[in-house]
Amino acid sequence: MSRNSELRLFLTAPVTNRRGSYLLGFTLISAACLALSQLGSYLVNTRIPLGTSVEINSVLNFTHIRNLGGVFGMAQGQGWIFGLFSIMLIAALVTYLVRGRKVRVYEFLCFGFIAGGGLSNVLDRLVYGSVIDFIDVRGIPFWNYIFNTADTFIHLGLWPMLFIGLLWHRD
């Protein structure tokens, strides 16, 4: 059996025993993502004045903006809707991980990134009144969005979840 096949089997096999250790892994990943994202928000909030940029290199700037809405700046001023939706979604995924009968290893891992990033954006809304966005990637055609580390963690969980779920996990 090849290493790729072994990895695929490990990641997509239903968790029947050791659920507690996978839940612990989910919790640790979530907590690490939450802590790192909150550290980024704190540092940007205290060191980069709102509306200003710090050039890191020709492609990357740290630009301190506030998102009072949701994804891609939609529904400005209605951030509470996205915060409430995020809390409900995270509660549903935790319930799924705790009670699900055929939860896979990759789901514990990927949902850890998604939950940690989602909780960080909710916490930003509670602490700062908005989400602090600052990662400003330049030079990409048709891209003018500024995002944060929490969004990055959400994507680090979401895309592997979709890839594995659609291409490897079949039953």
Query: For residue 76, what are its two tokens?
Result: 């400005």
Instruction: Let me know if 158 is exposed, middle or buried by CB neighbors in 10 A (0-12, 13-18, 19+).
Output: middle
- From CA 162, how far away is CA 145, in angstroms rounded? 23
- Is 136 part of the annotated catalytic residue set? no
- Among 124, 133, 136, 171, the active-site one is 133
Instruction: Please report, as a single letter, which amino acid is at residue 39.
Output: L
What is the distance in angstroms between the CA of the first residue and the CA of the last residue of the chain? 20
Query: For residue 57, what are its two tokens?
Result: 């290199």
- Among 124, 136, 151, 171, the active-site one is 151
- From CA 165, how far away is CA 76, in angstroms rounded? 33
Query: Which DSSP string corresponds to 27-71?
Result: HHHHHHHHHHHHHHHHHHHHHS-TT-EEESSSSEEEEEEEESSSG
Planar angle of CA 70, 74, 79, nearest 5 degrees: 40
Catalytic residues: 133, 151
